[in-house]
Each structure stands twice: as structure tokens, then as C-alpha cells.
Amino acid sequence: MTTFNEILSIGRSGLHTARSMLNMAGYNIANADTPGFSRRVASLVAQSVLGMGVESQGPTAIRNNLLNRNLMVSYGEKGFHESQLHSLSIMETVLNDLDEQGIISHLMSFETSLEKLSANPSSLPLRQGVLSAAQSLAASFKATWDQVDRTKDLTKQHAESLAKDINIKTTDLAHLNQEIRSLLDNQQDASSLIDQRDAVLGELSQLIDVNAIPQANGTLLIFSCGQPLVSEENTATVRVFEQAFPIDPATTDPQEGTTAIGLEFILGGVDPDNPPDINGDGVQDNVDLAPFIKRPQTTVGGEIGGVLSVYNDVLEPTRKRIDEVAFGYATEFNIRHQAGFNLDDPQVSGFDFWEAATTFPNINGFAQSLQLSADVDGKLENIAAAEDDGTGVGEGPGGNGNLTFNGLNKLSLESDIVKAVHLPATATGETVRNALEGVLFVVAEAKHRAQVGVETEGSTVIHLETLLQSETGVSVDEELIAMTQANKAFEAASAVIRQADKMSQTLMNLVG
Amino acid sequence: MRVTNSMITNFVKQTNQIAKTSVMNAVQDISSGDAIRNLSDNPVDAVRIVEYSEVINRLDAYENNLQVLQFDLNLIDSIMGQAVDILGNAKALALASVGESVSQTERDAAAVSARQYFEQLLNLANTQVDTGRFLFAGTEDNAAPYDATAPGYYVGGTNNRRVEITPGVFTDATVVGADSFGANGEVFQPLDDFITALQNGDFAAIDQSLDDLDAAINFTLLRQVELGERAKQIDDMDMTNSDLRDRYVLQRASLQEIDLTSKITELRAAETALDAIVQVTSRLMDTSLMSFLR
């Protein structure tokens, strides 16, 4: 038989439940715009025992791990392309010959000045024109090389900065892992911390490609490039390293003559900037990090992967190629110039046009230091326009054979004079035109690919975020309906209590 | 599919951003006039544009050579014409000096005039242009090619300088003595001999001078015609180069420049789309149950 206390208890459970529902709706509405927030829902369970009414269980956060994992992958892909755009934009501006300010344009101007001189080789103003054009060409090589080098430095600094960000995020994730596990062990609600951890994980996945594996104790095991990044409250430290590839005459690896940057993982919780005090004497000990360092063999993803890729695949090969073009051109030009004769009486030959103080293949930085030789700088008469006519004396000061028929004025584009440093000196070279246009194309195509990648992955990210939002996000209209519903339930439960109270009063009046 | 508030906000932001980006891109294209501003806009076409620029640049260099040649050949044609006139005057003088009825005094006066003709001819043969370059000296154009005291009178170069006027086509950029005033006295010797004959009163030699001066005039006329033919070839090549350059410029423009009509249409469409999106999305953001529930 049901007592009045039981009826009151039922009404009270209805009031509590309605209040919980209102509370949850209000909580959801308040966090409708909180990034990464998953809406909370509670389930109502009818008590099987009469007199206990209803109970709300939860709140439970609505999540979709599959969508989350796909989103992390897309964040990483988008970050990979996005991080490349800045460096590639600079390179594109530096190499842009569409505005006729690049190396090719200066090379053509130099060629034109030589062509004009071929029509009047004795003309001092035209000779001055040649030297001025040559100085502009050298300045263009220098400026381009300097800008590529600066961009490389900035890109490497960017990679180091991203590595620091990654380390900060992994440390945050490790702390959150620890706190979540602690709450769950004490049977407490860890939903907010899990939301925070998901948000940090999303940010991390943009920086580097990660794979997160949920553990039974509520923590996440996070891998990247096959290496453990976060395990419970332990983290690996990521660091950028630089590696030089010296030229080996026995091999033909295109990486020879370049430097590359990569990412290494320092495992075991060892912080390379803060070594541990192993023997407890209060002094940090030098730890041999070698056993703890892992260098992934797979391509690194995310923003840091994009930055590493642009450094290794675009910037450094471009720097190398510009040096090869400058060296090949200057060397061959000098060989032909030495064979020609100047304006003196008697005419003299054997002058270098360009300063060539280094030897193949150690030509790193040649483009940056390209300049006129002391033989011709300020000495207009020493530009060797005339060709040896075979008698040891030139055509005369009015001769132009060394320009035209020995092709000094066509050397820029048509001769196979650009040799790669990683190939033997006897290997066939490439024309200057092909070499420079190849550089333009590599940079242009890399940037184009990055832009397309950002657009494509951006669309994918938007699509996945929309799907995820649809499932886990807060609809204010839905919560308003839930609030109204809770309000009605509260009124109904109040009515139950009032009626029970009336009935007990009636009973009391009967015996009173 | 559930529609949440964040979805609505994000949708409004994204669609507005996309519409504004379309407008911005169209405005940038129209203001710059370029379809390809950066290498990455279209890498393949960008490299082709650079290649076309290389060709146009080279054609401009040939154009410079052609202009120098045209200037020189026009001047040479005028000079050769003057030379023919001078030789004609000398022949007329010779005609007037033939015969025993002409007194020695008259022959002496004629010799003075003939000497003046000789000096005029020598000056013409040693004409210099711009930076002191001698026109009729071949590659040795830094010194006067004709010397009245030298054997054969010609002391200039025997080789011509050659320049490229179109890809792979070279032509002589200078004129040597053999192609102008003679390398072995073809023009100056008859006049010199005439002066000597007048001074010596040698009737037979004066008579011979008529034929020799005729030969000199013919020699000069023939050289003038040959040089005129060369000038014509240069003019023809100039026109060919010009046409070729125009074609390459058009090709480059077709890749690099925008079609203004279609771009303006594109801008109008983008602006209309932006207006529509702003109105629709603002309505979307206003609609909520909050307005109805009390």
C-alpha cells in the first residue's frame, strides 16, 4: 500500500529531476559558443520501486570519436599545406620574373647589352652599359641568394617554434591525462576536462600528425610518426635537427651539397634542455641522449611537416641550383672571355670577366659573392669583344667575333653549362634557361599545390566540423524546448505534492 | 541533421567570406589587368610567359642592331650619291679641259677645282658617326680608312663585322673599301691622275681621264646599288622581325592579360551574390525560438 510519504517522495524526485533538466539546459545554453564543447544530455530512468519516482542519470557528453579522428587527420593535412604558404609566397616574390625583376630578366638585359656592343664594339658608352648590366645581374643573383638564405633561416626558426608549441601541447595533454584519470578513479565527472583535452588534441593535430588511442583508465595514448608522444602523464620531447650532406664523388645523391632539417623524438621523458640529476648530488648530469633519440623514417605531417618539407624540398634545392647556375654561367663566360681581345693597342687577351674564387663542386654561396673581376671592373677597354683571327692578333678593336660567334651574348640561355654538384664534372649540364625556369616552376608548382591543398583540406575540415557540430553542438532552440519541458514537469511535480498534501490534510481533518 | 547555433554562425561566416573573396579577387584582377600576377596562379603559363619575354627581349636586341644598320646604310647611300655627283662634276671639268684650245692657266684653275673635288671625296670616304666610328673602314673603324698618301689610298680593315639580325641570320654591319670607295684606288686614282694631267698639261692623259672617271663613276654607282640592295634586305628583315615580335607579344598577352569584359561581368555577379548572401544570412541569424517562447 502506498503511503503519503511515498507520494511526497515521488513528487520530490520529480522536482529534483526537473531542476536537473533545467540546470543541464542552462549549462548547455551558456556553453553554446564554447569552442570544443560537447552538449550534455541526461537520461531519465523510472524507478522500479514504487515510491521512488524518477531519477536522472548523467550528464553524459555527446561525442563522436570516429568524426574526431577524421577531423584530426584533416587538421594535420590542412596544417601541412598552410604552413608552407608563407615561405613559398616569399620565394615566389623573389623569383617572380613576371614583373621583369628576377634573375632571368637581368640575364636578358645583360645579354641585350652584349648584343648592342656587338654592333659597335669600340663604343665606350656601350661598354659601360655592359658593365652596368653585369653589375645588375650580379646584384640580382646576390639578392636572390640572400633572400633564399633568409627564408631558410626563418623557416628553420618557424620549425623550432612549432616544435616548442608541440612540446607545450604534449605537456598539457599529459597533465590533462593525469587529472582525468584521477577524477574517473574517484567516480567523478571528467567531461569538461575531456572537452579541454579534445580541444588541445585538435590543436596538436594541426601542428603534427597524431594518432590518439583511448585507454581504459580514461587517458589517451598519443603517437606520431610511429613514436609515442604522450603516454599517461609522460611525454616525448620533439626537436628540430640539421644534417649536412657532403659531396661524395663516388655517389650521385641529389641531396649532396645541401643541408636538411628534420624532426627527432627524445623519449623516456628526458628533457635535453633540463637534464636530470641522476645521482642526487644536486647537480644536473650530462646524459648521453643518443639511446633516447628516435628519428622517424616516415614523412612528418601537420604544420611542422609542411615547414620541414618546404625547407628540404624547395628552399635548399633552390639555393643549390642558383649557386650552380651562377657558377656554370660565370665559369663558361670567363673561359670564352679569356679567349677574346680587348681594345688596347696592341690588343691583349686572357682577362676574366667574373671573379671566380672557388672551384667546383664546393660552390655554396657562389651566387651571393658573384662580382666583376678586377680585370674589367672600371676598365671598359678590357671587355674582350674581338675574336682571335688565328694570327695571335685580334680582328682589330672593331671586331665582335668573341661576342657574336663565340656566343658571349648568347651564353645565358643556350649552352649546357649548368652542372649539378652531386654529379661528376664530366656529366652533361643543363642550359641556364632550363635550370632557371626549372627553379621557377618548382616554386610555383609547390605553392600552387599548397594553395589547392589548403582549399581542399579546408573544405574537408569544414564538412567534418559541420557533421561533428551537428551531433555534439548545442542548438539553443532545442535547449529552450527542454527548458520549457522541464518547467512543465516542475509544475506537474509541484501539483502532485500539493494534491498529496491536500489529501493528508483531509485525513487529518477526519480524525481532528 | 541537427542544426546548432555554431553551425549557423560558422555557415554565415564562411559564406560571407567566400563571397567577399570572390569580389576581392575580381577587383584585384581588374585593377592589375593581369590574369597571372604570381607564378603560382598558373605555373605552366607563368613559365611560358617568361619564355615569350625572353624571345621578345632578343628580338628587341636584334631590332637595335637593325636600327644601327639602317641608320648607317641610309647615310652611306646618301654619301655614295654625293660621291657620284662629285665624280660627275670632275668628269664635266675633264670634258671642259680637253683640247689644245684650253690654256695652261685655265688648266691650272681646273686642277685647283679638281683638287677640291678630291678633298671632298676623301672627307666623304672618311665619314665618322656617333662615337667616332669610321663608316667605310670595316672592323678597323677607329681610324680613318683613306689616306691620300698611301698606296691604293685604302688603309682600313679588310673584314666586315657581322651582327645577328634575326635568330641564326647574320649580316655585315660595316662596309670595307672594296664595297665603297675602292680598296685599290678605283675611285681616287682616276681623280688624282686627272689633277696631275691638268697640272702637267698632258692632253692625252686628260683625254684618258674621261674614261677613267667614267669607270670610277660606274664603280661607285654599282657599289651604291649593292649597298642599297643590302639596305632593302635590312628593311625587309626589320618588317619580318616586327611581325614576329607582334605575334609573340600577342601570345604573351593572351596568357597574361585579363579579358576585361568577362572580368567585369564576373565582378558584377560576385557583388550581386554578396548582397544576396548578406541578406539571407542575416535573416538566418535572426530566426530563433527565443522570439516566440515566453
**Chain B hits for A481, Cβ within 8 Å:** 289
C-alpha to C-alpha distance for A409 and B244, rounded to whole angstroms = 21
Nearest to A92 among B40, B132, B162 (CB): B40
> What average pLDDT is seen over chain B?
90
pLDDT in tens, A367-412: 999 999 999 999 999 999 888 654 545 567 778 888 876 677 766 6
**Chain B hits for A93, Cβ within 8 Å:** 38
Helix (H, G, I), strand (E, B) or coil at B99: coil
Per-residue b or e along A240-265, where b marks 16 or more CB atoms closer than 10 Å to that residue's CB: beeeeeebeeeeeeebbbbbebbbbb
Query: Regarding beta strands B133-134 and A54-61, do their DSSP bridges make them parallel or antiparallel, or are they unpaired?
Result: unpaired
Per-residue b or e along B244-267, where b marks 16 or more CB atoms closer than 10 Å to that residue's CB: bbeebeebbeebbebeeeebeebb
E strand spans, A159-314: 211-214, 220-224, 227-231, 234-235, 237-245, 258-266, 293-294
Ordered alpha helix ranges (H), chain B:
5-32, 43-97, 104-125, 188-200, 203-256, 260-286
C-alpha to C-alpha distance for A448 and A454, rounded to whole angstroms = 10
Residue B292 has pLDDT above 80, yes or no: no
Sign of CA dihedral B92, B94, B98, B103: positive
Separation in Å, CA of B71 to nearest CA in chain A: 12
Separation in Å, CA of A474 to nearest CA in chain B: 5
Torsion of CA A488, A490, A492, A498, to 10 degrees: -150
pLDDT given at position A412: 62
Whether the Cβ atoms of residue A434 and residue A419 lie closer than 8 Å to each other: no
C-alpha to C-alpha distance for B183 and B172, rounded to whole angstroms = 17
Nearest to A116 among B64, B138, B139 (CB): B64
What is the mean pLDDT of the segment spanning B265-287? 86
Residue A207, C-alpha cell as written in the block: 601542428
pLDDT given at position A57: 78
> What average pLDDT is seen over chain A?
88
Residue B92 has pLDDT above 60, yes or no: yes
Hey, are the CB atoms on B7 and A473 less than 8 Å from each other? Answer: yes
Test the B interface: residue of A343, A410, A433, A448 with most B CBs within 10 Å: A448
Q: How many CB atoms lie within 10 A of CB A186?
A: 8
- For residue A125, whether the previous peptide bond is cis, meaning omega lies within 30 degrees of 0, is no
pLDDT given at position A390: 45
Residue A120, C-alpha cell as written in the block: 659597335
pLDDT in tens, A338-355: 988 888 877 888 899 999
Q: How many CB atoms lie within 10 A of CB B148?
A: 11
Test the A interface: residue of B42, B50, B248 with most A CBs within 10 Å: B50
Separation in Å, CA of A181 to nearest CA in chain B: 30
- For residue A59, whether the previous peptide bond is cis, meaning omega lies within 30 degrees of 0, is yes
Residue entry with cell 601541447: A169
C-alpha to C-alpha distance for B4 and A33, rounded to whole angstroms = 10
pLDDT given at position A50: 61
**Chain B hits for A121, Cβ within 8 Å:** 161
Sign of CA dihedral A427, A430, A435, A441: negative
Q: To which H or E segment does residue A134 belong?
A: helix A124-185
Residue A261's pLDDT band, with cuts at 50, 70 and 90, is: very high
Percent of chain A with pLDDT over 90: 48
* Nearest residue to A409 (alpha-carbon basis) of A426, A385, A439: A385
pLDDT in tens, A164-193: 999 999 999 999 999 999 999 998 888 889
Sheet holding A220-224, edge to edge: A211-214, A220-224, A227-231, A234-235
Separation in Å, CA of B165 to nearest CA in chain A: 10
C-alpha to C-alpha distance for A346 and A366, rounded to whole angstroms = 34
Burial, A285: exposed, middle or buried (Cβ in 10 Å; 0-12, 13-18, 19+)?
exposed
Residue entry with cell 503519503: A4
Hey, are the CB atoms on B43 and A441 less than 8 Å from each other? Answer: yes
pLDDT in tens, A198-223: 999 999 999 999 999 999 999 999 99
Hey, are the CB atoms on B290 and A444 less than 8 Å from each other? Answer: no
Whether the Cβ atoms of residue B61 and residue A116 lie closer than 8 Å to each other: yes
Separation in Å, CA of B29 to nearest CA in chain A: 15
- Which amino acid does the sequence have at A510? L
Whether the Cβ atoms of residue B71 and residue B172 lie closer than 8 Å to each other: no
Residue A319, C-alpha cell as written in the block: 639555393
- For residue A246, whether the previous peptide bond is cis, meaning omega lies within 30 degrees of 0, is no
Give the lowest-confidence range in A49-53, A291-295, A326-330, B28-32.
Answer: A49-53
Hey, are the CB atoms on A484 and B293 less than 8 Å from each other? Answer: yes
- One-letter-per-residue 3-state SS of A291-328: HHEECCCCCCCHHHHHHHHHHHHHHHHHHHHHHHHHHH
Q: How many CB atoms lie within 10 A of CB B108?
A: 12
